[in-house]
Amino acid sequence: MSNEPLTVELNEERPHDLSVETSFSTTDTFAVVLKNHGQPVHVHLNLDDALSQVATLSTGNHYIEGDEEKAVEIFVTPVQEPVSGTLKIVSGYGSETATVNVEITPGPGSKPGVDIDDTLTQPGGVEPQPTGSERALAAVSAIDTGVLPLVLLAIVALALAAGVASAFDSLAISLGAGVVVLGVLTGLALAIR
C-alpha cells in the first residue's frame, strides 16, 4: 500500500468510544487500523453507495481483543475522476458511530480520461443508399476474374433456356427450361462463394 492508514482509536476514553479523523484522502488501497485501548469490542465498517462503486471491503464485522490492533484493508479500484463517499464505523452494537468522508483521487500512474466532443452524441447524417446500377456494378466488381467466364456462360444458358421455352408451347419444355435455370443459378451461387 502506498498510502498512510486511517487509524481508529477504540475504548480510549470510555467503553465503545470511537476516535477517528473526519476526512481521509487516498489514491490507492488503504488500511483502516482498529486500535483497541480497552476491553474487547465489536466494530462494523460500512461503505456508502458512492464509495462502494470504487472500493470493496472483504468483511464489515470485526472483533478486536483488548489492547489489540487490527488492520482491515479497503481495496480501491484506480479512478479517472475523484470519487467521494462515506465510511461509517460503528462500535458496541450501534452505541457509538463515527463517519469519515473519504475521497479517492486519481493516482500518479492513472491514465487521463477521454474527452468526448458533443458532436459525437448527435445523430449523424444518413448516408445515401446506392442505386440499383451501383449495387450491380459493386456485385460484378466483387466477382473473382476466374469466375467471370462461368458467369458469362450461365447468362448464355439462361437466355437459351428462356428462348426455347418461349418458342415451344409445351409444359415439358417449360419445366425442363426451369430445371436448367435452377441448376445454373445454383452453380453460380456455389462458384461465387
Sheet arrangement for strand 69-76:
18-19, 6-10, 30-36, 69-76, 55-57
Q: What is the pLDDT of residue 174?
A: 77
The mean pLDDT of 16-45, rounded to a whole number, is: 94
Instruction: Tell which wins on pLDDT, 115 or 15.
Output: 15
pTM of the predicted structure, to 2 decimals: 0.55
pLDDT (tens digit, 9 = 90+) per residue, 111-165? Answer: 555 556 666 566 665 566 777 667 666 665 655 556 666 677 777 777 777 777 7
Query: What's the mean per-residue pLDDT of the chain?
Result: 82
Higher pLDDT, 138 or 101: 101
Per-residue pLDDT at 123: 61
Helices (H), the chain: 49-52, 132-142, 148-167, 171-192
What tens digit of pLDDT does each residue of 64-83 get? 999 999 999 999 999 999 99
Please tell me the predicted confidence (pLDDT) of residue 138.
63
CATH of 6-107, one of 3.90.79.10, 2.60.40.10, 3.20.20.70, 3.90.1150.10: 2.60.40.10
